[in-house]
Each structure stands twice: as C-alpha cells, then as structure tokens.
C-alpha cells in the first residue's frame, strides 16, 4: 500500500507538471547553509551540459565512515552549474523530528528538501514533494543517491 501511495504522489506531481498548472515549493524548515565553504565537496555528477557538485558536512562524512546515522543539522548541497556558472542549489537538511511535519507515507526520515536560486533565495517554482517522492526510494541508503560515494570518499572528489 505504501508503494502505491508513493506512486500515486509521483504520478500526481508529473500530471500537474504536464498540464501546465503551477507547481510551487512548499514552505519548510530547510535553511541555506550559513557557510557553504565549510562543506566538503565529495562527488561530481555530470548530466550533459549540467555539472553537479555535491557537498556535505564533515560530521556527515565521519558518521557514514563509522556506520552511524547522519546527524541532525546536516546539510547536503547539490550545486547545479550550467555554462560554468551556478544556476541553482538543491539542499537537503536533516533536523530532529522534521519528518513529523509530513504524513507518514511522505516522510523521508527527518530530511526536508528545498531548491534555491543562485542568489540563495528560495526557488518557489520547484516542487519539493517530487524531491521527497524520488528520495524515498533510497531509504536503504539514508535517502541519498550518493551514499556509496560518500562512504568511499578519501579526500579525492569521486566522479
């Protein structure tokens, strides 16, 4: 039943996108990291003309290395570059009991998601429910697509 609800939520998000009705980000607790320079760039993903640098806190790296849960307060930031310029940021942030802000079938543990423009203002044109829906498929890896790269990081950016 849980998989069916997630599939329905994803289908609804796609339908809204295809029909042209506005899809808006919802307000949540995610804050842009106060010091982007303190995050560790551990992997890069290239998708055609888009380059994505993915970064997180040193504490998250250490927790994964030790087989411990990623701590509350952790930020993961995907920096979306186009034409060698920052186009936007995707931020995942974990907070104590943040999952309770959502119905159980929509939770991704205590992670919340937000898109930001290059100027670090919230990008209200993005559908963050879609982010939750997609990341929910990664429950076996702390809801991260780059969990393996995170665990394998040895100081050299994984590409």
The tens place of each residue's pLDDT in the chain, 159 residues long, gives 344 344 444 544 554 555 454 556 677 899 999 999 999 999 999 999 999 999 999 999 999 999 999 999 999 999 999 999 999 999 999 999 998 898 888 888 888 899 999 999 999 888 877 887 888 888 898 889 899 999 899 998 978
Distance CA 41, CA 116 (A): 18
Rounded to whole angstroms, how far apart are CA atoms 84 and 61?
27
Nearest-10 Cα torsion for 114, 118, 122, 126: -60
Contacts of 39 (CB under 8 A, 6+ apart): 33, 55, 56, 57, 75, 77
Distance CA 141, CA 118 (A): 28
pTM: 0.81
Coil/strand/helix, residue 25: coil
Residue 22 pLDDT: 53
* Residue ranges of domains in the chain, CATH in brackets: 2-27+36-152 (3.50.70)
pLDDT, residue 14, reads 53
Per-residue buried b or exposed e for 93-128, using 16+ beta carbons within 10 Å of the residue's own CB: bbbeebbeeeeeeebbebbbbbbbeeeeebbeebbb
pLDDT for res 90: 95
So what's the pLDDT on residue 20? 53
Confidence (pLDDT) at 12: 47
Q: How many CB atoms lie within 10 A of CB 78?
A: 18
């Amino acid at each position: 039943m849980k998989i069916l609800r997630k599939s329905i939520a994803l289908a609804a998000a796609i339908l809204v996108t295809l029909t042209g009705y506005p899809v808006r980000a919802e307000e949540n607790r995610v804050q842009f990291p106060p010091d982007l320079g303190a995050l560790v760039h551990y992997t890069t993903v290239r998708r055609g003309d888009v380059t994505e640098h993915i970064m997180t806190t040193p504490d998250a790296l250490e927790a994964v290395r030790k087989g411990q849960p990623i701590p509350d307060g952790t930020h993961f930031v995907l920096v979306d570059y186009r034409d060698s310029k920052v186009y936007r940021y995707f931020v995942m942030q974990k907070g104590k009991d943040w999952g309770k802000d959502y119905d159980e079938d929509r939770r991704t543990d205590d992670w919340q998601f937000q898109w930001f423009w290059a100027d670090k203002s919230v990008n209200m044109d993005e559908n963050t429910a879609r982010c939750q829906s997609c990341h929910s498929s990664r429950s076996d890896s702390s809801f991260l697509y780059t969990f393996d790269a995170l665990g394998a990081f040895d100081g050299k950016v994984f590409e």
